[in-house]
Amino acid sequence: MPDAVKAPFPPHDRTNQALFGTMLSDNAAWLGDIQQVYGRMAHGGMAFFQEVSRFWELRMHEDREACAELMACRTPQELQECGQRFALKASQDYAEGISRLLQASIGALEDGPIGKGDGAKGEDVGGGAAAAPKQVA
């Protein structure tokens, strides 16, 4: 009898090799789905953080320009007008930035479902789950 600590499975046992081969081949689709999910997560995360970086770069530039304009104001009315322009531009930039972040997030999720079907009409979408029962009219 082999030593269980050193060799839990006999090295030349064809039964064990066949068993592990079957387990790996049966799980190949599942492993492919997991790889696709992690790929989507990585791609979506990169798109999200690229958009965040782009937005902050834009806003830092705009804020610097607004500070220079505020420093150049000579009257309270000029200061008020400059502040209003800054606030309007900032609110528009933030609204656009949030929209772009949402689009990046949604885009990461819209790459399509994982699995055999496309998820429409009760088709199998990953994991071998049973299809939804069809309604009889």
CA-based nearest residue to 116, from 124, 105, 108, 106 = 124
Q: Are 70 and 83 in contact (CB under 8 A)?
A: yes
Q: What is the pLDDT of residue 127?
A: 42
* CB distance 82 to 66 below 8 Å: yes
Please provide residue 98's backbone torsions phi and psi, each rounded to the nearest 5 degrees: -65, -40
E strand residue ranges, 57-106: none
- pLDDT tens digit sequence for 60-98: 999 999 999 999 999 999 999 999 999 999 999 999 999
**Over 70: is that where the pLDDT of 2 sits?**
no
**In this predicted model, what pLDDT tens digit does every residue of 9-67 receive, in sequence order?**
555 656 556 666 666 777 777 777 888 888 888 888 888 899 999 999 999 999 999 99
Using CB atoms within 10 Å of the CB of residue 69, give its burial: 0 to 12 exposed, 13 to 18 middle, 19+ buried. middle
Give the separation between CA 55 and CA 104, rounded to whole angstroms.
13
- Indicate the domain borders of the chain: 51-109
Between vectors from CA 132 to CA 126 and to CA 135, what angle results, nearest 5°? 155
